[in-house]
Amino acid sequence: MKVSFNELQGLSRKAFLALGFSDGHADDAADMVAWMESFDLHGLEALNNGLAHLMEEDPDALPHILYQDGDMAVVDGQDLSVLRSSNLALELAFAKARARGLSVIKIRRCRQRQLIMGYLARLAGRGMNVTAFWRNAQKPLTEQVIGFRANSTVPSIRVYSVEEVPEENEPNNGITVIMANHVDLLPTMRSDYRYDLLAKHEESDLMAVRERAIANGIEVDPALWERLKVLAQKTLVEASDASRLGAGPT
Amino acid sequence: MMDLPPNTNAALQALRPPSVVMALERLGSLHSSRLSFARSLIRQMARQRWHITCERFALNAQGHGQAIYRIQTPNNRYHAVIFAQALDDELRSDRVIANAWDITFGLVEGDVEDSLMASLAENLPLQEAGRQHPSLLVISRANKSERNFEQFVDALASGHQPDSKLLLDAGYLYRTTAVYGNGKFGIADYGRLQSNPDFKRPFSAQMTVVYLLRHFAVAQIEHIARCRAPKKAVALHPELQRYMGIGNSTGLGMAPFLINHPQLIDRWITAREQSLALCKLQAPTELNRRQLVALCERARQYFAETKVDDTHQQHLNDVVVTEMDSVLPWLEQVELTDTLWQALCDWAEAALSVESQELLHSLLMELYPSLVDPFEDVMSVQEKQELHPDMPLVQLKQLIETHFDWALAENFDEPQSCYWFWYRSVEKEEPRLGVRGQDPGVEKELALAVAPRVQRCHTAIEAFLTDNPRVLTIEFLMANPRFMDTVRRIQTMAATSYGEIRANLWHQDMKPMHLLRTKLSFLGASRFDPRSDRWVRVTFFQGAPLVDELNREPTDLASFDDWSFPLAPTLRETTATTTIRDTIDTNTSIHTDTSTSTSTDNITCAEEHDESLL
């Protein structure tokens, strides 16, 4: 079925509220999902895959700063979805980059990492060059890098597999993000090591996808849509004759 | 960017403070003005030579069936698609929770192919329960004013004009109960309109479809009357057509918009205040004075004619009438000085009710179209509330104390300050009010009340600063993440003047009606007719030029635009309708002349399609 961007954002927001997100975090999480889906980057699929875990997460758990100095921070994502744990950690990196010109933040132990892209886009829109890097799998070793130019909310994305696996190849469920005030951080593939490019999304292609989504609507899985609606329903109050009076007599 | 007129800097110095402008009672006393979106739309249509033609008019003898109107602008082509159906009286409800309506309709961007028409026929009548097509910019529905509708049809079928007094009680044949845009139920996203030169102004697509419904309503009753009495029926007199508007029934569903779009509200109010400040700085001529006297006389008469059931609103209207009786001699007797308008507004503030003050402001803005109208292009905004994570926390605290002092002044320990809570019902997600501690649902409360959020945030900041006096905002938020949306709002809105409505929306004495009227006045509503403190009926486009007048490509655009505060027509005196202003804005004539207007396209369409009745 097709839905509008606004519908997707609105229903997602209500679903996140039902999952115990605060208003601000529900806004951000809904924006992140809808942003990805509008670029056909499978935001809903990522959400669907992680929904069961999201429903079990402690809504009051906070990402914890393990280390920070003027230029960098390491944050423990507490095994939470990036929908819960990344926005403020990224704002911390943004503040450091503004103050020092460049910052690095590592968010360790986080889930649904693809979905972080929407918030990175938001920071890029505020004039920050941003790049994010993480490993998707260990065997074969695949890596993903996403870059945004300052003031552009459309990314360049590369996903590739590395053939020469380094000795140190421990599972890594973290993300490394670099922000810089003045320097482009776009992913340009240059390496003496051998790699296979698995996916490549250029800004121009993604912009065209986005325009089509706004013009024609966004295709969603009806089963997932229904699942979100059931969740969203939990934010609503049962009706009664007395509650109907709460909207004023007719 | 608009070109700023002379005196702008002086006007910016003279802006009224937010503490005055954003008080809820004052916002709830606003009247439509020439910056209202209905007025802007009609001016745009005339200036750009929009043409509206009937493409299909397939109604049966009871007026049920389909109609399609084409709207040709310089940039694009659109179609208003209307479905009229039989509706049992017991199903007719203005509440958003209704499931069936007399009329359902929508505005399509581009052409209506057969496949699209089939989809519209299947889904538009269902409204929220349907999956709507992304080529639809707006969908809406409307119910008949049963008494007016039947009496108008009866009169026309018997060869007479209906009594114009019917329109004094309810100035319409149809009343919309919701007009949806922005991606609702699958229709086009707001993003589509932002880059559309025809509809980039706020709510202009919605206003267009409401304007078309008014045109259809006349065509429909004339058609039914003709079917009943083919030889005897007459067309509705143009003066009555003009005096007929479209009703709208609005409840609490409109309230969250005012709170959830503070940057947009800031643009609307800022445009109005800057326009007003510029007008007040103008040195009036004797002609200007006579124009304002004429406008006050017309407005006085309009309020004298307006009868509403709500005793409080009727009292307010009566006070306006009485106070206009003192404004008129003041205007005629006070010496004509360069500062007359400022003196008038100062006197009004000291001597008149808030309703009368704001009425005078709306009327004063009528005198200077060339100063005011450019503001209609700066009433949209790309809304985004962003965090400034590197702001020192102590600075954030100061922002709150400077810009949200009204929120800090509220005492939330008093029960009356926390009386209401807002929530959404499972019934079509309708916003409702519950009594805290009494009604169920408080755990699902909507965060609409800004004042308690800001106050709680301020308290938490004070405590955090005690132990961490030199920290940044982000450090506070890492420890207190649930304040993130409040901090974003504070940091964003502190850079504006008029976005925050200064009221405690939890307070027992809070009047939701004021919220509704704030938005309705900017949309261009008139005849505020409260049915309770949470429910109001209004009228749009009453007095507005007809489609036929628009299609004749008017050359006197100032005259075309002069339709605020319309008076009930006296049909025998049609050709001698009062000329309100001979000249305005130095050289443009404003008058009302509909005596030659006819509804030819309605009749033509009806004749063409009578054989294809459903």
Prediction pTM value:
0.92
Q: In the predicted model, what is the mean pLDDT of chain B?
A: 91
Instruction: Give the per-residue SS3 of B519-541.
Output: HHHHHCCEEEEEEECCEEEEEEC
Residues of A within 8 A of B482 (CB-CB) are 22, 24
A-interface mutation test, from B387, B453, B532, B535, most A Cβ less than 10 A away: B387
DSSP string, B31-100: ---TTSHHHHHHHHHHHTT-EEEEEEEEE-TTS-EEEEEEEE-SS-EEEEEEEE----GGG---STT---
Kindly report the nearest CA distance between residue B343 and chain A, in angstroms: 41
If you measure CA to CA, which chain A residue comes closest to B483? Answer: A24
Q: Which of B187, B386, B426 sits opposite A237 (nearest CB)?
A: B426
Q: What does the pLDDT look like over B290-337, one tens digit per residue? A: 999 999 999 999 999 999 989 999 999 999 999 999 999 999 999 999
Q: Which of A5, A27, A214 sits opposite B485 (nearest CB)?
A: A27
Maximum C-alpha span of chain A: 74
* % of chain B with per-residue pLDDT over 70: 92
- B445 three-state secondary structure: coil
Give the ipTM of the model, two decimals please. 0.94
Ramachandran quadrant class, B509 (left: phi over 0; alpha: psi -120 to 50; beta: rest): alpha
Beta bridge partners of B180: B139
Identify the DSSP state of B392. Answer: B
pLDDT score of B595 more than 70:
no
CB atoms A236 and B429 under 8 Å: yes
In the structure, what pLDDT confidence band is assigned to residue B10 with cuts at 50, 70 and 90?
confident
pLDDT score of B584 more than 60:
no
If you measure CA to CA, which chain B residue comes closest to A59? Answer: B482
Which range of residues forms the domain containing residue A54?
1-60+203-237
Kindly report the nearest CA distance between residue B67 and chain A, in angstroms: 25
Residues A29 and A100 in one domain: no
Q: What is the pLDDT of residue A197?
A: 85
Q: Which residue has the higher pLDDT, B367 or B428?
A: B367
Interface residue A233 vs chain B (CB under 8 A): yes
Q: Which of A1, A24, A246 sits opposite B488 (nearest CB)?
A: A24
Measured distance CA(A82)–CA(A79) in Å, rounded: 9
Residues A195 and A80 in one domain: yes
End-to-end C-alpha distance for chain A, whole angstroms: 36
Residues of B within 8 A of A122 (CB-CB) are 386
For residue A109, being part of any structural domain is answered with yes
Measured distance CA(A177)–CA(B600) in Å, rounded: 67
Q: Which of A4, A236, A248 sits opposite B183 (nearest CB)?
A: A4
pLDDT score of B220 more than 50:
yes
In the predicted model, what is the mean pLDDT of residues B493-522?
Answer: 96
Measured distance CA(A110)–CA(A51) in Å, rounded: 14
Q: What does the pLDDT look like over A220-235, one tens digit per residue? A: 999 999 999 999 999 9
Interface residue A62 vs chain B (CB under 8 A): yes
Residues A67 and A134 in one domain: yes
Interface residue A156 vs chain B (CB under 8 A): no
| Cβ contact B242:B599 at 8 Å | no
Kindly report the nearest CA distance between residue B90 and chain A, in angstroms: 13
- Nearest by Cα to A90 from A109, A77, A79: A77
Which segment of B270-274, B285-289, B429-433 scores lowest on mean pLDDT? B429-433
CB atoms A2 and B134 under 8 Å: yes
If you measure CA to CA, which chain B residue comes closest to A23? Answer: B485
- Treating both helix axes as pointing N-terminal to C-terminal, what angle do B393-403 and B450-467 enclose, rounded to 10 degrees? 150
Quote the tokens at residue B326.
């003192």
Kindly report the nearest CA distance between residue A166 and chain B, in angstroms: 35
Q: What does the pLDDT look like over B32-84, one tens digit per residue? A: 999 999 999 999 999 999 999 999 999 999 999 999 999 999 999 999 999 99
Q: What is the pLDDT of residue A249?
A: 58
Residues A8 and A67 in one domain: no
Q: What is the pLDDT of residue B4?
A: 59
User: How is the beta sheet containing B172-180 ordered, strand by strand?
Assistant: B51-59, B65-72, B77-84, B103-109, B136-144, B172-180, B245-250, B535-540, B526-532
Residues A154 and A169 in one domain: yes
What Cα–Cα distance (Å) separates residue B366 from each residue in B332, B353, B484, B525, B558? 18, 20, 43, 17, 10
| Cβ contact B187:B132 at 8 Å | yes
Q: Which residues contact B145 (CB under 8 A, 6 or more apart)?
A: B170, B172, B173, B174, B175, B247
In the structure, what pLDDT confidence band is assigned to residue A141 with cuts at 50, 70 and 90?
confident
CB atoms B425 and A25 under 8 Å: no
| Cβ contact B186:B134 at 8 Å | yes
Omega of the bond prior to B431 within 30 degrees of 0, cis?
Answer: no
Kindly report the nearest CA distance between residue B435 and chain A, in angstroms: 9
Considering its fold, how many domains does chain A have in total?
2
Kindly report the nearest CA distance between residue B487 and chain A, in angstroms: 10
Residues A223 and A172 in one domain: no
Interface residue A88 vs chain B (CB under 8 A): yes
With the C-alpha atoms ordered A47, A50, A55, A59, is the resulting torsion angle positive or negative? negative
Q: What is the pLDDT of residue A250?
A: 52
Residues A134 and A207 in one domain: no
Residues A163 and A175 in one domain: yes
In the structure, what pLDDT confidence band is assigned to residue B598 with cuts at 50, 70 and 90?
very low
Q: Is B118 exposed, middle or buried (0-12, 13-18, 19+ CB in 10 A)?
A: exposed
Quote the tokens at residue B390.
């590197």
Measured distance CA(B591)–CA(B560) in Å, rounded: 8
Q: What is the pLDDT of residue B576?
A: 34
Q: What is the pLDDT of residue A136?
A: 86
Q: Specify the amino acid at residue B567.
A: L
The CATH code of the domain that includes A54 is: 1.10.1530.10
Q: What is the pLDDT of residue B613?
A: 28
pLDDT score of B600 more than 70:
no
Measured distance CA(B223)–CA(B220) in Å, rounded: 5
* Residue A156, phi then psi, degrees to nearest 5: -110, 135
Q: Specify the amino acid at residue B520.
A: L
Residues A55 and A108 in one domain: no
Q: What is the pLDDT of residue B20?
A: 97
Q: What does the pLDDT look like over B90-123, one tens digit per residue? A: 888 887 778 899 999 999 999 999 999 999 999 9
End-to-end C-alpha distance for chain B, whole angstroms: 51
Quote the tokens at residue B513.
């009606």
pLDDT score of B604 more than 60:
no
Residues of B within 8 A of A230 (CB-CB) are none
Measured distance CA(B244)–CA(B594) in Å, rounded: 13
What Cα–Cα distance (Å) separates residue A165 from each residue in A136, A157, A162, A197, B166? 14, 21, 6, 15, 84
Measured distance CA(B585)–CA(B371) in Å, rounded: 9
| Cβ contact B79:B209 at 8 Å | no
Q: What is the pLDDT of residue B544?
A: 98
CB atoms A65 and B478 under 8 Å: yes
pLDDT score of B588 more than 70:
no
Measured distance CA(B532)–CA(A245) in Å, rounded: 11
Quote the tokens at residue A243.
């509650």
Quote the tokens at residue A190.
């240059």
Identify the DSSP state of B283. Answer: P
Q: Which residues contact B402 (CB under 8 A, 6 or more apart)?
A: B494
Interface residue A2 vs chain B (CB under 8 A): yes
Q: What is the pLDDT of residue B2?
A: 58
Q: Computed over its alpha carbons, how large is the radius of gyration of chain B? A: 25
Q: What does the pLDDT look like over B157-215, one tens digit per residue? A: 999 999 998 998 899 999 999 999 999 999 999 888 888 999 999 999 999 999 999 99
pLDDT score of B594 more than 90:
no
Q: What does the pLDDT look like over B453-491, one tens digit per residue? A: 999 999 999 999 999 999 999 999 999 999 999 999 999
- What residue ranges do the domains of chain B occupy? 37-251+543-612
For residue A55, being part of any structural domain is answered with yes
Residues of B within 8 A of A247 (CB-CB) are 95, 251-252, 425, 430-433, 534-535
- Nearest by Cα to B433 from A244, A55, A116, A31: A244
For residue A246, being part of any structural domain is answered with no
* % of chain A with per-residue pLDDT over 90: 75
CB atoms B474 and A91 under 8 Å: yes
For residue A243, being part of any structural domain is answered with no
Q: What does the pLDDT look like over B344-361, one tens digit per residue? A: 999 999 999 999 999 999
Residues A82 and A171 in one domain: yes
With the C-alpha atoms ordered B571, B576, B582, B588, is the resulting torsion angle positive or negative? positive
Quote the tokens at residue B327.
């404004």
pLDDT score of B574 more than 60:
no
Residues A51 and A133 in one domain: no
- B420 three-state secondary structure: strand
- B114, B118, B124, B129: CA torsion to nearest 10: -150
Q: Computed over its alpha carbons, how large is the radius of gyration of chain A? A: 20
Measured distance CA(B84)–CA(A228) in Å, rounded: 34
With the C-alpha atoms ordered B299, B305, B307, B312, is the resulting torsion angle positive or negative? positive
CB atoms B389 and A22 under 8 Å: no
Residues A102 and A190 in one domain: yes
Q: What is the pLDDT of residue B605?
A: 35
| Cβ contact A129:A97 at 8 Å | no
What Cα–Cα distance (Å) separates residue A155 from each residue in A121, A132, B191? 7, 11, 20
- Nearest by Cα to B118 from B147, B173, B81: B81
In the structure, what pLDDT confidence band is assigned to residue B606 with cuts at 50, 70 and 90?
very low
Measured distance CA(B543)–CA(B564) in Å, rounded: 7
pLDDT score of A87 more than 50:
yes
Q: What is the pLDDT of residue B276?
A: 97
- B32, B34, B37, B38: CA torsion to nearest 10: 80
DSSP string, chain A: -EE-HHHHHHHHHHHHHHTT--HHHHHHHHHHHHHHHHTTS-HHHHHHHHHHHHHHS-TT---EEEEE-SSEEEEEEEEEEHHHHSHHHHHHHHHHHHHHSEEEEEEEEEE-GGGGHHHHHHHHHTT-EEEEEEEEEETTEEEEEEEE-TT----EEEEEEESS--S-------EEEEEESSS--------SS-EEEEEEE-HHHHHHHHHHHHHH-EE--HHHHHHHHHHHHTTSBPP-HHHHHTT---
Q: Which residues contact A206 (CB under 8 A, 6 or more apart)?
A: A39, A154, A155
